[in-house]
């Protein structure tokens, strides 16, 4: 009995450490680089980048603009063809051998321009889930209300040409532990957000709030209250350029009285869910 009593504090400490280790092992880690660029580290250690506008992003901290510091990238998701979303996709895919998933038409454009070869492209379209990282992680493309084109600048002549960007989209990312993320891409409010909320039930919504090109905070708040009903939302795509005037404070005011938590991340921040 004396031995047991003496061991009890030790056993409690070991047990607490074990619980902490298990909890950490099943956590989802999300880092925001500014604009719509996110890095998701899944519970199983896979790394997904979304719209990796990093090296030329005025809001990305300088310390994070060295792409070598990413260390691992398994999959890149691109929502549409605008430069502040395509960003460093080609360079990151080449460096890490990462697969690049995007709408089927824009995939042809990326291959034709020599940005990403077909063997690293996953060309797909809406409502057909894919499992490029194994059965435990499902990626589904969903609608976005926006535009899409790809602008290429010839490195020698500096001449710009415009190429097809296919349809813009958002992504539903369902992870190994059941945690579901909705990255809306650039979008306005659309009625089928109700389907996204009801069918996928996202635990976390990453929503644009800047206005002018996308939803402003009031429209984003309406979408969350009436359609998505997600318990947590991270505002994005604001403050990067002068026209993107919406703020997280305005989103919080729009969601006053709602059960949804607004998570105000700063570029470079990492959060665990």
Q: Which two tokens stand for residue 197?
A: 């909320």
Cβ atoms of 74 and 46 closer than 8 Å: yes
Contact 216/185 with Cβ under 8 angstroms? no
Give the domain extent around 103. 26-272
pTM here is: 0.91
Report yes or no on 148 lying in a domain.
Answer: yes
What is the per-residue pLDDT across 217-241, written as a single tens digit (0 to 9) for each?
Answer: 999 999 999 999 999 999 999 999 9
User: For position 25, what pLDDT does the model report?
Assistant: 55
Structure tokens at 186: 């650039």
pLDDT in tens, 14-33: 444 343 333 445 799 999 99
- Asked, for residue 170, whether it belongs to a domain, the answer is yes
19 lies in some domain: no
Tokens 């644009």 found at: 208
**Band of pLDDT at residue 9, cut at 50, 70 and 90:** very low
pLDDT value, residue 208 = 98
Per DSSP, the three-state class of 62 is: helix
Q: Give the domain CATH number at 202.
A: 3.60.15.10
For residue 33, tell me if it sits in a domain: yes
- Give pLDDT, residue 134: 95
Assess if residue 13 is contained within a domain. Answer: no
Domain count, the chain: 1
Q: Is 6 within the bounds of a domain?
A: no
- Nearest one of 185, 206, 211, 189 to 273, comparing CA atoms: 206
Q: Rounded distance, CA 183 to CA 206, Å?
A: 5
Q: What percent of the chain has pLDDT over 90?
A: 90
- 4 domain-assigned: no
Number of Cβ within a 10 Å radius of residue 153: 10
SS3 label, residue 181:
strand
Q: What is the pLDDT of residues 103-155, one digit of tens each?
A: 999 999 999 999 999 999 999 999 999 999 999 999 999 999 999 999 999 99
Answer whether residue 17 is part of any domain: no
């Amino acid at each position: 009995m004396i031995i047991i009593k003496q061991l009890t504090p030790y056993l409690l400490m070991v047990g607490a450490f074990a619980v902490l280790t298990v909890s950490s092992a099943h956590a989802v880690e999300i880092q925001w680089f500014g604009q719509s660029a996110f890095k998701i580290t899944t519970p199983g250690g896979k790394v997904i980048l979304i719209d990796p506008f990093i090296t030329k992003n005025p809001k990305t901290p300088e310390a994070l603009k060295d792409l070598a510091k990413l260390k691992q990238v398994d999959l890149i998701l691109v929502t549409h063809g605008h430069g502040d979303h395509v960003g460093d996709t080609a360079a990151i895919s080449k460096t890490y051998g990462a697969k690049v998933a995007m709408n089927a038409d824009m995939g042809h454009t990326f291959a034709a321009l020599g940005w990403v070869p077909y063997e690293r492209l996953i060309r797909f379209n809406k409502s057909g889930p894919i499992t490029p990282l194994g059965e435990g992680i499902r990626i589904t493309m969903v609608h976005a209300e926006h535009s899409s084109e790809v602008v290429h600048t010839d490195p020698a002549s500096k001449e710009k040409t415009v190429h097809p960007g296919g349809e813009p989209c958002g992504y539903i990312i369902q992870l190994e532990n059941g945690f579901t993320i909705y990255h809306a891409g650039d979008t306005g409010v659309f009625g089928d957000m109700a389907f996204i909320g009801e069918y996928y039930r996202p635990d976390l919504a990453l929503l644009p709030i800047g206005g002018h090109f996308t939803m402003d905070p009031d429209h984003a708040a309406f979408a969350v209250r009436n359609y998505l009903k997600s318990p947590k939302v991270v505002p994005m795509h604001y403050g990067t350029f002068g026209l993107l005037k919406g703020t997280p404070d305005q989103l919080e005011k729009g969601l006053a009285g709602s059960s949804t938590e607004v998570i105000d991340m700063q570029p470079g921040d990492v959060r665990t869910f």
